[in-house]
Amino acid sequence: MEKKIAVMTGATSGFGKVVAQHLVETNHKLVFLARTESKAKELILNLDKGSSTEVDYVLCDLSSLASILRACEELRKRCSRIDLLILNAGLWNFEFQESKDGIEETFQVNLLAPVLMFQKLKDLIPTNEQSKVLLTASALHQGSIQFDDIEFKKSFSGFKAYRQSKLGVILTTRLWAKLPGNSSISFYSIHPGVIRTQLGARAGWLSRTIFKLIGSSLEKGARTHIYLIDQPASTLESGEYYAKAKIAKAAKETYDLQEASRLLETINTYLKDYLP
Ligand SMILES: NC(=O)c1ccc[n+]([C@@H]2O[C@H](COP(=O)([O-])OP(=O)(O)OC[C@H]3O[C@@H](n4cnc5c(N)ncnc54)[C@H](OP(=O)(O)O)[C@@H]3O)[C@@H](O)[C@H]2O)c1
C-alpha cells in the first residue's frame, strides 16, 4: 500500500513524540518541523522505526514568519503531496514576549503560524476526501477574541493570551471546514487533556507542581490525535472539536462563524506580506 505523507509541527517534545511514533508505525512517511537540529536528530534516533520507514525533518522556527515561509518552500521540494497536516506546536508564555517579527509570541506561534502553514501548503493537500488537517487546541479556550488589543500589548496576561490563541484555533477549524474551497479536506481541533509536558515549564513553581501532580501521561495526550489519524474521515465530523477520542462540548463562542471570519481577516492582515 502506498505510504501516506504526514507533515507535523510539535513532534519534538511532549505527546507529539507519541503521535510521531504512531505515524511511523502506521505506514506514513513523516516530515516534521523542528526548530533545532539537535532535537530533530534526537527524535529520529528515538523513533522506533521499521525497515521501510521514511522520516525526515525541516528546520523551522515558528516565531519567525520568514522561517515558516522557507520551511514551506522546502516541504514543497520534499513532499509530492500532504495527506495529513498536523499543526500541534504551541507555547504558553508567562511573560510578554515578542516573536522575531515583533508580534506577541503566543499569538504568532499558536495561531498565525498554523494559519500561514495551511495557506501555503493547501494546494499540496489532495482533494480525495481522506485528507486531514489536525490542529491542537485546548479546553482553555473560553472567552472572546480581544480585537482591540489582540496581542495584549496594553496589559499582558499569559493565561488570556493562551486562552485566546486556542479559541482562535477552534474558530479557524470550524470556519475552514465550512469554506467551499476546502470541501474535500477534513479539519479537526483537539484538546489532548492535561498532560505532563514542557508546556508549563516556564510557569512558577506552584503551577509547575500542580501540572506535574494532575497531568496525565504522554500516551494519554496522544490518544485523540491517534484516533483522528486512524479513523476514516467518513466516520468523523469535519470542523468539530474532539477530546478523549470523541466530539467534545466546546464554549458557545467557538460556534460564532462571523467572529471566525473577522479573526481570519485580522490574521491575514498580519500575514499579508507572506501570502499571494
Ligand atoms: N500539555 C497540556 O496539558 C496541553 C493541554 C492542552 C493543549 N496543549 C497543546 O498541545 C500542543 C503540544 O504541546 P505539549 O503540551 O506537548 O508541550 P511541549 O512539550 O512544550 O511541546 C511543544 C512543541 O511545540 C514546539 N514549538 C514551540 N514553539 C516553537 C517554535 N517557535 N518553533 C517551532 N516549534 C515550536 C516545541 O518545540 P521544541 O521541542 O523545540 O521545544 C515542541 O515540539 C500545544 O499546542 C499545546 O498548547 C497541551
Please give the pLDDT value at position 33: 98
From the CA of 2, how far away is ligand 1's center (Å)?
30
- The stretch 54-78 carries a mean pLDDT of 97
Could you tell me how far CA 223 lies from the centroid of its own chain?
15
Asked if residue 51 has pLDDT above 70, the reply is no
Q: Say which CATH number the domain at 186 has.
A: 3.40.50.720
Q: Is 238 in the pocket of ligand 1 (CB under 6 A)?
A: no
Which atom of ligand 1 lies at the shortest distance from residue 16's CA? 16
Task: State the Cα–Cα distance between residues 113 and 118, nearest whole angstrom.
Answer: 9
Q: Which secondary structure element, helix H or strand E, spans residue 247, and what is its range?
A: strand 246-247
| 132's grid cell | 486531514
Check: CB of residue 131 under 8 Å from CB of residue 184: yes
State whether residue 32 is helix, strand or coil: strand
Check: CB of residue 9 under 8 Å from CB of residue 88: yes
Q: Give the pLDDT confidence of 18-48 residue by residue, as tens digits.
A: 999 999 999 899 999 999 999 999 999 999 7
Question: Between vectors from CA 167 to CA 17 and to CA 61, what angle results, nearest 5°?
Answer: 45
No. of H helices and E strands in the chain?
A: 9, 8
Q: Give the pLDDT confidence of 97-127 residue by residue, as tens digits.
A: 999 999 999 999 999 999 999 999 999 999 8
Whole-prediction pTM: 0.97
Q: Is 20 in the pocket of ligand 1 (CB under 6 A)?
A: no
If one compares 273 and 203, the residue with the highest pLDDT of the two is: 273
Which range has the worst mean pLDDT, 10-24, 157-171, 192-206? 192-206
Parallel/antiparallel/unpaired status of strands 246-247 and 28-34: unpaired
State whether residue 172 is helix, strand or coil: helix
Alpha-carbon torsion (198, 203, 144, 99), positive or negative: negative
- Which structural domain range is residue 128 located in? 4-274
Parallel/antiparallel/unpaired status of strands 131-136 and 84-87: parallel
Task: State the Cα–Cα distance between residues 128 and 143, nearest whole angstrom.
Answer: 36
- The stretch 168-186 carries a mean pLDDT of 95
Mutate to test the pocket of ligand 1, among 19, 21, 91, 244 (most ligand atoms within 8 A of CB): 91
Q: Is 138 in the pocket of ligand 1 (CB under 6 A)?
A: yes
Beta bridge pairs of residue 104: 98
Task: State the Cα–Cα distance between residues 91 and 150, nearest whole angstrom.
Answer: 17
Please give the pLDDT value at position 1: 74
- CA-nearest of 55, 48, 9 to 28 is 55
Asked if residue 67 has pLDDT above 80, the reply is yes
For atom 6 of ligand 1, the residue with the nearest CA is: 138
Q: Give the pLDDT confidence of 121-168 residue by residue, as tens digits.
A: 999 999 888 999 999 999 999 899 999 999 999 999 999 999 999 999
Q: Which secondary structure element, helix H or strand E, spans residue 258, and what is its range?
A: helix 257-270
Residue 52 pLDDT class (50, 70, 90 cuts): low
Beta bridge pairs of residue 54: 29
Q: What percent of the chain has pLDDT over 70?
A: 99
Asked if residue 179 has pLDDT above 80, the reply is yes
User: Which residue's C-alpha cell is 469554506?
Assistant: 179
Mean pLDDT of the chain: 95
Task: State the Cα–Cα distance between residues 253 and 260, nearest whole angstrom.
Answer: 10
Asked if residue 236 has pLDDT above 70, the reply is yes
Domain count, the chain: 1
